[in-house]
Structure 1
């Protein structure tokens, strides 16, 4: 049986997603179709914000968060590693904690000095790190949701640019990694602004293989996936 425990790492969660969903995902979904699912559940999470529906927000935020790892697995890179490289307990732009971009009006991305001794060991630790970099008191939930929508679009743009251009492949692939890391950071931002514990929520959903059919690999039909209620 495959499961995710709330004290485990982001890397362990990515492995869990691979074990349960890689085979059916590779067989049934193109990368573009995975992006559709990613955006679909992101938009449903935003609908939860608009309707002040915490249950809808939480489930769809967790689901869109999970589809991010399907993207990373399809493209064979570690989301935890790129997340740490981009946000090493510092804002990725002003290189400060907490972020001072609004105060200092930073106009150019500053170089980040990585201190690996500060790297969180668990997914829960990463959520705490992001709240220290970008404290929830500095934004509304609606603002956090708009930022998440923006990053969702930028992930799609990066993937489309990679798939449709034969030039600058290395730079375009790196851009996908960075945009997906930004999306995850904004997922944590929405979670922190709405008091959602992502690690605990994922452990509640994925206690026994697939959240719907409870099989590993997942045996859900295409119809059940495309019509999944949330």
Structure 2
């Protein structure tokens, strides 16, 4: 985005930018392909938040795959959201939502056609009141409408949010397959995408309270595609950057640091040589589970070595420094968590 004089300021502009960036490469990819990456990144997001990891990228990628599916199906996600959530809850027709009291219905009986007319009227009001909504305004709007989400998150953590997001993702896929066989029209997909969008917006607003989602998008895409750095994107299918599976080059870098430690602490050669051999085995085996065990055992070895360091002389300082560097490398292993 760095070459754009006008950075995307609205949800629709952001969707348009992502279509310009990925629309061409996504022509050959079906919705199931995109849905698999949406599900994957949403699941990694659910994992990273309770572990205290930086999950801005997982948020951005989850939103981006939602936009990709919307673009593929020619759905305006901004409009779909406003139709589903036009300033009131679509079930109890109230702001803030009182569905916990009414069991997902209005507090008093209202004819269904009147409910639909009321929602249509509120949609028109919402469109005219804010014709250029940003991602940040949608974050605020969602959590103003559903303040109970904030209380649940604070009391019990993010599990409820991601249980609901998982449920909505399943409904997106069901709506799509129903659409493919002619049992449902595209409106059903719009409706379910809006729900996924809302739950993810709410999660951002709670976890990153006060931080701009719009700005985070611009930062992430500032140099165009963050993988190939091109616009339009030139990435081949399945050329994503992995997160939760072992990267052999990372493991090799860590092993080289242990070899450096072996040279600095030859008195501990038996322990360190065993660690190096286990890491070499993990590299050749290639399985994440094997790598995790090898690295976790190496951490114990480093702790043992640290506890055996003598008084702080120059050699001890050198060993301690290398151990600190090795631990810093471990801190970059997302797959280790």
TM-score by length of 2: 0.61
**Can you list the C-alpha shifts for 1:135-188, whole angstroms capped at 9, x where unaligned?**
24332122112111111111111112222x13x4xx431110100001000011
Q: Secondary structure at the match of 2:227?
A: coil
Residue equivalent to 1:129? 141
Consecutive unaligned residues in structure 1, runs of 5 or more: none
Q: Answer whether contact 2:8 2:17 (CA < 8 A) is retained.
A: no
Residue equivalent to 2:21? 20
Which residues in structure 2 correspond to 1:149-168 (within 5 Å)?
A: 149-163=166-180, 165-166=181-182, 168=183
Offset at residue 212 of structure 1 (A): 2.1
Q: Answer whether contact 2:8 2:14 (CA < 8 A) is retained.
A: no
Residue equivalent to 1:229? 243
Offset at residue 3 of structure 1 (A): 5.9
| Residue correspondences, number | 222
For CA contacts below 8 A with separation 6 or more, give which structure has more relative contact order: 1
Residue equivalent to 2:297? none
Offset at residue 4 of structure 1 (A): 10
Q: Report which of the two structures shows the higher radius of gyration computed on alpha carbons.
A: 2
Moved more, 132-141 or 78-87: 132-141
Residue equivalent to 2:72? 74
Residue equivalent to 2:45? 45
Q: CA RMSD in A?
A: 2.3
Q: Answer whether contact 2:220 2:226 (CA < 8 A) is retained.
A: yes
Q: Secondary structure at the match of 1:229?
A: coil
Q: Answer whether contact 2:95 2:145 (CA < 8 A) is retained.
A: yes
1:202 counterpart (217, 224, 229):
217
Offset at residue 201 of structure 1 (A): 1.6
- Rounded Cα–Cα distance in structure 1 between residues aligned with 2:6 and 2:196: 23
User: Quick one: structure 1 residues 207 and 3, their matched pair in 2 at CA, closer, same or farther if it must change by over 3 Å?
Assistant: farther
Consecutive unaligned residues in structure 2, runs of 5 or more: 107-111, 245-337
User: Quick one: structure 1 residues 63 and 70, their matched pair in 2 at CA, closer, same or farther if it must change by over 3 Å?
Assistant: same
Which residues in structure 2 correspond to 1:62-211 (within 5 Å)?
A: 62-107=60-105, 110-111=115-116, 112=119, 113-114=121-122, 115-116=125-126, 117-119=128-130, 121-135=133-147, 136-140=149-153, 141-163=158-180, 165-166=181-182, 168=183, 171-195=184-208, 197-211=212-226
